[in-house]
Structure 1
Amino acid sequence: MTNGGNDFREFQLQIVRMRIAFRQCLQRTLKRHGISVTFEMLQVMSCLWREEGSTQQILAERTARSKASLSSLMTTLEKRGYIERRAEPSDRRNKRVYLSPEGERFWLGILPILNDLYARFEQSIGPECLRVMTSDLTRIQHELESI
């Protein structure tokens, strides 16, 4: 007998709460270090660090953002000098996005702060617990994608 999906609703709510708590923790950490950048900016820069020359479509997918909100975010990052948009030689309408040299310096400067935050969290939760939760969440994601 099921409980009408109440367990799943609570699970979903807890994921949302965790994301909010993580975002707030990250913002507090950056503020303590005098770094003025938003969670969303970090998401984009992290993607570009891993996948240099991504298209805006790929960045929208990776950050789970609409193309409209991503476009505004990209304009802000470009004004700060952290990213560059370059037209593809084969089709000048398509743009690829790269971290600028300033963006790379900025990213390399905050990377130790982020790595320390992640290491402290992993130590407090425990690596085995994180592995199990990651595996479970991946399984749930695949299940949701197949429904």
Structure 2
Amino acid sequence: MSNSIFQAKEFYDFLTGKAYTAISRRLHKNFREAGIDITSEQWSILYSLWEEEGLTQQELATRTFREKTAITRLINNLERSQLVIRVVDKADRRTNLIYLTKAGRSLKEKCLAQANKTLAEALIHVKDDHVRIAKDTLKTVYENLS
């Protein structure tokens, strides 16, 4: 295998899961240790709703880069945990709007603290200029493919 093919494979493997999986697992661990009973996937839904409530399931799917069927399952679980509620859209009765409950809103600060802790753990030995370069590179990769 040529060196360039190996480097491309290594880069592709890293981008497609290793870093994401490691951060996701650590975030889930930090949530558990803080007594927060949500998954990292549920966190992405809650985070989107903390930014803007009353989103449709399709809007949540787009914002979190997930399939609509996965969003349905995540919302079902968040609804069972009484963190979100579905409200029928008055303008389109076929559509549900997703809102946080009081319990869902109250998790925000505690969750953000754990997310910041996780990010600090992930970046502990990474120089600021390397973070900036990685961010710029990943943004460019995303824009190239969007």
- The normalised TM-score by structure 1 is 0.85
Listed as ranges, the gaps of 5+ residues in structure 1 are none
Aligned to 1:11: 11
Separation (CA, whole Å) in 2 of partners of 1:124 and 1:49: 30
Shift of 1:65: 1.9
Shift of 1:6: 4.3
Using CA pairs under 8 Å that are at least 6 residues apart, name the structure with larger relative contact order, 1 or 2. 2
- Write the mapping of 1:113-128 to structure 2, written as runs, cut at 5 A: 113-128=114-129
- Write the mapping of 1:69-108 to structure 2, written as runs, cut at 5 A: 69-108=70-109
Matched residue SS, 2:107? helix
Shift of 1:92: 1.7
Aligned to 1:51: 52
Shift of 1:67: 1.3
Shift of 1:108: 2.5
1:26 paired with 2:33, answer no
Distance 1:7 1:41, change over 3 A: same
Q: Do 2:23 and 2:118's aligned partners in 1 also have CA atoms closer than 8 Å?
A: no
Shift of 1:123: 4.6
Aligned to 2:113: 112
Matched residue SS, 2:97? strand
Write the letter of the residue equivalent to 1:127: D
Write the letter of the residue equivalent to 1:106: L
Separation (CA, whole Å) in 2 of partners of 1:18 and 1:101: 33
Listed one character per residue, the Cα deviations across residues 92-119 of structure 1 (whole Å, up to 9, x for unaligned) are 2111111111100022322222223324
CA RMSD of aligned residues (A): 2.0
Separation (CA, whole Å) in 1 of partners of 2:138 and 2:85: 34
Separation (CA, whole Å) in 2 of partners of 1:144 and 1:66: 18
1:139 paired with 2:124, answer no
- The normalised TM-score by structure 2 is 0.86
Listed as ranges, the gaps of 5+ residues in structure 2 are none
Identical-pair percentage: 27
